Structure formats: structure tokens, C-alpha cells
């Protein structure tokens, strides 16, 4: 075998010990919350049949699927004619599987295949990597984790409440304090297009309004004109742009603004109901921000729409979702509606990093390194090692007989906070010399005293 | 879009809520142990460059790699000539990435790429799926998890001790009580072939002896003769076959049997040293079984060899590993030796299942379902829900207004052990009616009393 200089595929990453500890901190926080709220974990295979995946993400999505070459003689069914036609004719004959592109389609497939065993309402969460052959760039990877929770088989607005509550709990436990849970309702957007006299055009309307923050109201008006919205419609829209702050004020305004749209008022009613439940639960509207123009991939959502933005960081949206009507229709099972949302784990990581919210030290580090001078110290160290681990303290004995300095360097690099030094004196007294590396403070303790100190 | 009946690719599986809870029980037990022993987690991408993967697993392994089709115009570099040659000429032009086949090669790649940042000895663990285009059959999947721990950069026999201790801890915590940690040393096998007069042929010797349990000593002798071992060598081997039970007895015998082999005696010495350390640690040899003919993929191992067998189950080996000399040589970095081993998670799952060691109930289930009769009960239920969750109790409120019977069915199917019933009486008194589903016992408690009962 020739010697190669190894490399990673474009757009992929290794996660070393420090990154893993930080990722686990985020993922464990999310998992704990999902379980506290009664969600159950699901895992699906990385590989799905291409028949399951294609046609679900639009033409661009189909292009971005990673396809797996059939095993064995993969060319065996390819004809000369196929080759002349090119990739489109050859692809179906050389590949029948692809890598998961998101967690929603595999979830829909799972629900259809297991519909007789599942008891609805079904609350599931799923935390797994997905793959997309996107052009890699800063913050965009070809392999990344998604972290989805969905409730299917109920129309109850309790689901919307639970999503808000879960986001609040996760963010509180991560130490994130400056963010907004933006919330809207598809029915309000439909009502909006009705009352400005452009019924059914909420999709186009939202695409344009979505750019408000970036390009300003003047440019948005120009875009709407380009899209053949009437001057009158644009004029009627302007109160929405100047909407007052505060959920209550917005709701009051919208109630009269949408007075002529039954569906619009229904959307307002649903939103009010969710906020009312929040109060009954004993929580408040802190962090919750009714955003009349929030749209997010409008085509999928039929009711509530969510998006979470962290303030004062370069990365904006870290979570989003909404209510949908028909999860499984494409696989022949109608009537499975639900609400879902997703945490962007990579984005949360970057946000936590940018805000300096991760503790300095490795969160999963070893607590104690035992060092020694000679064979006698090593044997004594083994006993101490056992005692520490029996108390649940992550501990290591330096494996090789080496200079104390080298052993300390190991502790230092691995960010192990306490070093035990076993010299003849300590062994005679049955004690431990314990040095705390951050302060340099050294003391002599019994094993029991040391365990007490660490607990 | 046409309606399809969805299916899973051959050899892959979904893991539903109950299976996930059980898998997590196993994986969390293993992870806890790894961390207690100072191992740090690593994750590598599912996709690796084919240049990293090919040539590492033999010709058969190369065949079993799942290859990923290049994105975009994958046929663009393929010439008419390539097509006439066939798959071998076309493959390198249409695919440059593959799916991870094991965790060892990605680990070696990681060590080489990060050698300047890693502080050695480096103790890492890695728990991720791997993919192999094997023919699927019972217990053999195309996607399955591996669960590896390695220590590289030290020759200390402490590593061997730690492997034994970690296996014992994991098995104790899983409730597995009838198993053997078989242990041997490559040097003993080398010594064996020396003293029977067939120096250097320990590989062939072990392939034959490995079948002893299945085909018996008579057939093993025939195979050795077929392989041109001398009658004399086979005769000299026979005491090994009839070896007494007990590690100490075996070691004593081997010391005289291998008296003429320096390397053989070195192997014995290493094994004795590990057992001696086990004693210093304050543990004993229970479950540890010196097996003179244990070989396991001999070519890789240079020192200790491990294999764990659970008794009285159809699946035998659930874990194995050993010491190796040169992890990273193939990527141009020499001198990285280490010890590693791997838990077979799918096999452990099957063993636990066969022995009935999983608890009856779902390990990650919701503890409490709150049921109610009307809107007033729902609003009151929201407050109770909040109270339970604040105490860390996984709780749900039934989302829809439905008959109590339907709400109980939900609890039953989801194996939720306690149901709270909120009627007018309970709400007036500020109490909860709590029913334990397993016993049918019902009592009236305050929220605080109920929380105390659950804790």
C-alpha cells in the first residue's frame, strides 16, 4: 500500500473531544426537554430508497441528494442507448438508494409503514445527520445534524403551546437570554391578502415583505408593483408595516384590520388561544413575539408558523417550524396532520460559541489525574483510582512511568482540574497530595476527604 | 406526484420508541463507563474519500464499501473506452467518496490529520453507524452501530487492565452475569508455534485451532496435517488442547511448556502483569478467562487479544479487541501503537433481549398523563402539567377533548404508569385523583404529595 496524505471530503467535519462535549451539552439539553414533554425518540436509516426521496424536495432538492452506487456490477443494466442519453438515463440504472436529505420524509415513511402500531397522537423526536450536496461555504455543510420534534394526529392548539414551552426551556437551560420566538399563523397571512384585495396571493406577498428588514419598505413596494400588486393593495398594506410593538396591541389592531376576513379572524383566534393557554400554564409571553409577516416556506404550513431568532449574533434563525395538513399524503396515507419544529444544532453551536456561553473547560473532562514516581506509587495509584471511580468520579492513572512534569503536562492539555501526587510520604500516611491546577493550591487529604471535596 | 407504497432498503432498520429506549440504555451505560475511565468522544463524517477507505479492508472489503455517486454530471469524465473496460475503469471516474466501513480507519485518519494538536496518550471513544454492502441475513445488517474505545501512544499494560475493568463495569450495569472475558496474547501464540517446531506459522495454527469447539480435536488434527504441519508438531500441541481449567494452573503449565521460547515467556509475563494489576486495583479475576488459543484476526494484534462471550445465548461474541503496533502507518505516520476494543451494540441488544434483561416497560416513557372532562379541566390540567414538569417529571396533558376511555387507552398504549383524572370534585378541593394503571389503585393526593410519591 502506498502512503497517502489523508483528507476529509469537502463540506464534512470531524468533531474532536472539546467540540463533542459542547455538542453533547446542546443535544442533551434538547433531548431532556423532549422527553420531559412526552416525545419519544425515533431513528431511521441513513440510506433510503431513491423512490422514497425523489420528488419530495423539488428539482433542486433532487439534484442535491447524495446517491449511492449499486453494489456489484453497477453497469450491468446500462445500455449503449442510455449512455448516449446521458446521466438522466443512466442514473436510475446505477443507483437505487440515496442518503437522507431531511428527517421529515423518513418520518412520514415511518408513520405510513407503522400506522397500525402507532398510537396517535404520536409525539416523536429524531436527532440524526442529514446530507446535501450543496456547495460548501461558511456555516453550510454537506453533512449536518437536524433535531426535529413533531406531534401528528391531533389539531389541538396544545401542540403549539408545547413548542413554545420547549423552546423556552431549552434556551433557558443553554443560558440564552436574548432571543425572540416569532410566531404567526398562515390564516392571518391569507386574511391579509384578502383584505388588501389580492386574495390567494399570500405567497408572493410574503416573499416580498420578508425582505423588509434588509431592503426597506420603499423597495418592497417596488417589488410588489413589479409583481402586479395594485397600488391600492400596497396602500392598504402600509398599516401592517408600521404596526405597533407588543403582542396585545398587534392583536387588537389586526382584529379590526381583518374584520372582513373570516379566515384571518380564525388565525387571530388561534393565536389568542395559544397565548391564553400559556397564561393558564402559569408562564408568560416573555420572548414570544407575534410577527404578522413571518412566512417561512409558506407552502407547507396551514396554521401556526414559528421561527426563533437570537439577537446580537451574526447567525439569525436557529429554530423554526409550524403546523401542516398532510404529512403522509405522498405515501398514500391521508389525514395525518400535525405540528413540527426543528432546532438547528450547528447554528445553536455557533451562537453559543459567539456569545461565549460554553464554559471554558471541557464539559466532559476527566476530574482527576493520579501521578506517581515509581512502581510502588503506580500500584498504590491503582487502588486510589478504583476508589475514585467507585464514587463516580472520572479519574485516570498516568499509564507510563514518566517524569512528574510530563504527567502534569498531560493533565494540563486534557484540562483535568485536579492532580493527585503519590510520593513515599503520602503512601506512608495513607494520604493524597492534591493539587488544583487552576489555583496551584496544594493540600493533603484522605481519599474520603478528597471525594467529599469533589462532590 | 404519484402515490407510492414506501419501503426500507434491504438490510436497514427503523428504531421505534421502545427499541430506542433500550438501545439508549445500552449506549448510555457504555458511554458513562468510557467517560469514567477518561476516554473522550470523537465523531467523524459518514462519508470519507475513497482514497482513505480503499485498500484497508482487503479485496472483499473494497467490494463491500458503499460508494457515493459524484454530484452533478457524474458521467462527464467517462470515455467510451472506460465503458468498454467496465466497472473497474468507470468507478474511479463516477465516485470519489464512500460510506464509513468501520471506525478504525477514520480514527487513524483523524490521528494523522490532528497529530500536532492531540496530546498522547490519547484515549478516544466513538459510537457511530457503519455501512457494509454485505448480503443481509438474520443479525447481519447493512447499517449497524460500532462502539469503539482505543488508547494510542503508550505501551503501558494499564491499558489492558482498563479494558477488562470497563467490560466488567458495563456488563454489571447491564445486568449480564454469565459471561467470559477471554484473554490471550499474540506472543504466546508465537511461542506456541516455536515450541512445536513450526515457528512463524501461528496464523495457520490458530485458524485450525479456532474450530476446536465446533469440529473437535480429531478434525483439527486432520486440518493441521492438510496444512503440512508435522505429526510431531501436532503431537506436541496436544497438551494445549487438554489444558486444565483455571488461569493460575494454565499460566503455571505454560511457563514450563514455553520455557524455550523467549517471546512466549514474554507473553506470559505480560498476562501475569495485567492480572497482578487487577489485584492491586482491588478487583478479582472473576469473568476473566485465559484462553491459550484465542486468536481473533491475528494479523492485526501484536500483544493482548480480547473477546467477550456471553454464555447460554445463541449469539456468542459481543465484544473484542487487542493491542496493535501501527495504527496510522498506512497514512504515513509511524509509531502510533495502541490497544482498542469494540462493543457490538446490536449483538448486546439481541443478548439482553434473549435473556429478558430489559425491563418490561419503556425505559424512557412519560410518567404521568393528565386527563379531563371539559374545557375547565383542560385549563386546570395545564397548571398541574407545569407543576409536574418543574419537578422534573415527564408529563403530558391529553391534547384533545375526548372520552376518558380514549384518554386512558392513550396512556395504556404509551405505557404511561400514572393517570391523573381532573373532575369537578378534584378541582374544587385542589386535589388530584391519581390512578396507577398496573394495579388499578386510585387515590386522591395534592400535587405535592403526588410529586413526593413519584420521586
CA-based nearest residue in chain A for residue B384: A281
Annotated binding residue A104: yes
Q: Are strands A304-310 and A317-324 parallel, antiparallel or unpaired?
A: antiparallel
Strands lying side by side in the sheet with A442-445: A395-397, A368-372, A418-422, A432-436, A442-445
The CA-atom distances, in angstroms, between B228 and each of B110, B200, B231, B385 are 43, 14, 9, 76
Decide if B156 and A400 are in contact by the 8 Å CB cutoff.
yes
Would residue B152 count as lying in a domain? no
Q: In tens digits, what is the pLDDT along chain B, a chain of 455 residues?
A: 456 689 999 999 999 999 999 999 999 999 999 999 999 999 999 999 999 999 888 888 999 999 999 988 888 888 888 888 888 888 989 999 999 999 999 999 999 999 999 989 999 999 999 999 999 888 789 999 999 999 999 999 999 999 999 999 999 999 999 999 999 999 999 999 999 999 999 888 888 888 887 888 999 999 999 999 999 999 999 999 888 789 999 999 999 999 999 999 999 999 999 999 999 999 999 999 999 988 876 667 899 999 999 999 988 789 999 999 888 888 989 889 999 999 999 999 999 999 999 987 767 889 999 999 999 999 999 999 999 999 999 999 999 999 999 999 999 999 999 999 999 999 999 999 999 999 999 999 999 999 999 98
Annotated binding residue B323: no
Q: Residue with C-alpha cell 460559541? A: A353
Is A367 in contact with A416 (CB distance < 8 Å)? yes
Q: CB distance from A404 to chain B under 8 Å?
A: no
CA-based nearest residue in chain B for residue A57: B1
Residue closest to B371 by CA, chosen among B395, B346, B337, B339: B395
Q: Residue with C-alpha cell 425523489? A: A54
Q: CB distance from B410 to chain A under 8 Å?
A: yes
Annotated binding residue B14: no
Confidence class for position A300, pLDDT limits 50, 70, 90: confident
Cβ partners under 8 Å of residue B323, min gap 6: B159, B160, B186, B301, B302, B303, B304, B305, B337, B338, B339
Q: Which chain B residues are Cβ-neighbours of A117 within 8 angstroms?
A: 16
Cell numbers for B330, please give them. Answer: 498506512
Is B423 in contact with B370 (CB distance < 8 Å)? no
Is the bond leading into A68 cis (omega within 30 degrees of zero)? no
Is B140 in contact with B64 (CB distance < 8 Å)? no
Would residue B27 count as lying in a domain? no
Q: CB distance from A40 to chain B under 8 Å?
A: yes
Angle between the B17-36 and B158-174 helix axes, to the nearest 10 degrees?
Answer: 150
Beta-carbon count within 10 A of A210 CB = 15
Range of the domain at A374: 365-454
Is A9 in contact with B97 (CB distance < 8 Å)? yes
Decide if A379 and B66 are in contact by the 8 Å CB cutoff.
no
Give chain B's domain count. Answer: 1
Is A212 in contact with A317 (CB distance < 8 Å)? no
DSSP bridge partners of A395: A368
Decide if B48 and A379 are in contact by the 8 Å CB cutoff.
no
Would residue B450 count as lying in a domain? yes
Q: CB distance from B90 to chain A under 8 Å?
A: yes
CA-based nearest residue in chain A for residue B19: A42
Cell numbers for A348, please give them. Answer: 445553536
Q: CB distance from B59 to chain A under 8 Å?
A: no
Distance (Å) from the alpha carbon of B115 to chain A's nearest alpha carbon: 12
CATH number at residue A446: 3.40.50.800
Would residue B232 count as lying in a domain? no
Decide if A12 and B110 are in contact by the 8 Å CB cutoff.
no
Cell numbers for A151, please give them. Answer: 406531534
Would residue A152 count as lying in a domain? no
A vs B: CB pairs below 8 A: 288
Q: How far apart are CA A336 and CA A333, in angstroms?
A: 7
ipTM comes to: 0.92
Q: CB distance from B260 to chain A under 8 Å?
A: no
Residue closest to B284 by CA, chosen among B250, B314, B247: B247
Angle at A65 between CA A64 and CA A68, to 5 degrees: 140
Would residue A376 count as lying in a domain? yes
Q: Which chain B residues are Cβ-neighbours of A74 within 8 angstroms?
A: 87, 91
Least CB-CB distance to B17: which of A42, A75, A131?
A: A42
Cβ partners under 8 Å of residue B4, min gap 6: A51, A52, A330, A331, A332
The CA-atom distances, in angstroms, between A398 and each of A217, A442, B123 are 65, 19, 12
Would residue B380 count as lying in a domain? yes
Least CB-CB distance to A42: which of B16, B123, B281?
A: B16
Would residue A81 count as lying in a domain? no
Amino acid at each position: 500500500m502506498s502512503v497517502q496524505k489523508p483528507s476529509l471530503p469537502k463540506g464534512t467535519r470531524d468533531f474532536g473531544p472539546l467540540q463533542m462535549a459542547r455538542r453533547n451539552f446542546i443535544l442533551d439539553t434538547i433531548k431532556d426537554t423532549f422527553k420531559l414533554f412526552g416525545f419519544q425518540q425515533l431513528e431511521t436509516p441513513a440510506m433510503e430508497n431513491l423512490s422514497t426521496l425523489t420528488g419530495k424536495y423539488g428539482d433542486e432538492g433532487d439534484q442535491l441528494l447524495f446517491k449511492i452506487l449499486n453494489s456489484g456490477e453497477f453497469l450491468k443494466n446500462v445500455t449503449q442507448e442510455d449512455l448516449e442519453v446521458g446521466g438522466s438515463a443512466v442514473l436510475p440504472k446505477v443507483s437505487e438508494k440515496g442518503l437522507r436529505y431531511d428527517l421529515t420524509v423518513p418520518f412520514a415513511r415511518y408513520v405510513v409503514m407503522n400506522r397500525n402500531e402507532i398510537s396517535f397522537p404520536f409525539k416523536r423526536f429524531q436527532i440524526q445527520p442529514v446530507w446535501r450536496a450543496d456547495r460548501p461555504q461558511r456555516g453550510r455543510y454537506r453533512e449536518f445534524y437536524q433535531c426535529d420534534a413533531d406531534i401528528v394526529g391531533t389539531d389541538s392548539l396544545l401542540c403549539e403551546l408545547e413548542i413554545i414551552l420547549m423552546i423556552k426551556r431549552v434556551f433557558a437551560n443553554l443560558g440564552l437570554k436574548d432571543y425572540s420566538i416569532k410566531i404567526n399563523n398562515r390564516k392571518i397571512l391569507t386574511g391579509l391578502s384578502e383584505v388588501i384585495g389580492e386574495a390567494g396571493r399570500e405567497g408572493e406577498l410574503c416573499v416580498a415583505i420578508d425582505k423588509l428588514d434588509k431592503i426597506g419598505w420603499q423597495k418592497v413596494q417596488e417589488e410588489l408593483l413589479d409583481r402586479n400588486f395594485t397600488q391600492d393593495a400596497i396602500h392598504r398594506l402600509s398599516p401592517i408595516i408600521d404596526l405597533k410593538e407588543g403582542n396585545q396591541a398587534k392583536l387588537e389592531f389586526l382584529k379590526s384590520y381583518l374584520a372582513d376576513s373570516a379566515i384571518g379572524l380564525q388565525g387571530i383566534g388561534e393565536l389568542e388561544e395559544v397565548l391564553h393557554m400559556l397564561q393558564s400554564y402559569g408562564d408568560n409571553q416573555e420572548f414570544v413575539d407575534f410577527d404578522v409577516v413571518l412566512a417561512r416556506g409558506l407552502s407547507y404550513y396551514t396554521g401556526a408558523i414559528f421561527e426563533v431568532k437570537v439577537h446580537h449574533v451574526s447567525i439569525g434563525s436557529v429554530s423554526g417550524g409550524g403546523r401542516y395538513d398532510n404529512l403522509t399524503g405522498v405515501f398514500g396515507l391521508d389525514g395525518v396532520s400535525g405540528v413540527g419544529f426543528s432546532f438547528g444544532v450547528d447554528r445553536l453551536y455557533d451562537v453559543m460559541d459567539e456569545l461565549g456561553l460554553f464554559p471554558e473547560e471541557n464539559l466532559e473532562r476527566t476530574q482527576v489525574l493520579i501521578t506517581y514516581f515509581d512502581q510502588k506509587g503506580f500500584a498504590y495509584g491503582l487502588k486510589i483510582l478504583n476508589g475514585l471511580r467507585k464514587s463516580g468520579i472520572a479519574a485516570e492513572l498516568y499509564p507510563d512511568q514518566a517524569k512528574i512534569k510530563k504527567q502534569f503536562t498531560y493533565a494540563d492539555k486534557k484540562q483535568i482540574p485536579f492532580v493527585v501526587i503519590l510520593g513515599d510520604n503520602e503512601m506512608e500516611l495513607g494520604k493524597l497530595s492534591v493539587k488544583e491546577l487552576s489555583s496551584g493550591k496544594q493540600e493533603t487529604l484522605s481519599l474520603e476527604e478528597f471525594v467529599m471535596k469533589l462532590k
